[in-house]
Structure 1
């Protein structure tokens, strides 16, 4: 008999909590895993939503969604009625499982850009507060200065904490923030944060182009070209490894190696890069 995955329509699979419980009870009675697939299919959109919150990298997203589906099935096998709502139980399992999966498998993991901006700006705000006021800001104070919710800021911190390696955007921005002058302040402070709003949406645009170019000078010609295309440093369009390989006329594995080695060369040429800043 074909798997329920192939004949069950997830687009029409919205189930109430009572329906979810009913299918789960049928699974417990019969041991037929198709009932768990019916529940999991009803949560497809939810699984996709959780995965999209964890990455902007197209190469990782499909893997995360598929892994999230498998985690859902495993969670449903462990579920008991006294553990609360099925969706809540599954959500916890997905978040924990995807964190482990990212650490073990997504070596080029790139967190969503807006969350990365929050973390970078928070580092800067914290440094400035320590220098000017000798005061370590709380999460609530930083979120208030960023004009975002405390939940959004803490979620950004959580994502940043599980990133296995620095993304290119982090390398560029951390080097900019932590090249300090003799008084401990980043250079051109007013250029970085020109207004009280901290210009969150435009922080990593024109003012960093010259810094990007200098960093890329540490790479070979092929590495530089692969990084520029992959991360959209000229046209602003992030590309998958497959698309980058197509443009360069080589295979995905070669592109992946070029980018990894290029970023490694950049990191090795950035003195005193501290990736464990306390924010």
Structure 2
């Protein structure tokens, strides 16, 4: 979809006409939707379009225009309206969050799957990784970029450029690690031959791939637990309400996700 600032602003103004629902209105509409009332379904969707926008904005600059993200989120919203059950004991917006998030992230995943480095660059990237881990085992520490370049008999700048290319789907504004204030963009601007730069760049690249090996539900739970989406970490109980599951069920999924991340990290 081709979008412009004007088209985005026009859409935001349009959905601003729909008022938020009170708890009583929400319950009444949900009952009508269950009874097959299509007008009630449409109104419930319209009155929650702003929720989709708020979630979509958190996923900007990752490969899709905002209106495309909103469109995918709206599909998730429609599905949430169809599936919502008042017996779940939570507000509709809480329940719909998962469906909207799923629609948006799935679209982003499909988009980024189409982004591929040329074959020769992929081969070089794989060779860099193999050399990096071989030297790590040999030295018993993290090798520097210069050491990897020497072992491969290529210019360190060549490795640096390759690593930057491999980061194209990762935002430069993302923090490299929890305990580090530098963003990836700031590290790139620093001394490229430093061990810290090479180590953090590799870790960020690996982290992106590790999360990609989790299921959508696992990604959602890990993201919610650590507040990756909105900076607000949630408890197991809060996530259980979002997904209409038991606390223990969420804990098991979380545990398995961590096991998968750890296992893949060891053999990557």
* TM norm. shorter chain > 0.5: no
- TM-score normalised to structure 1 length: 0.38
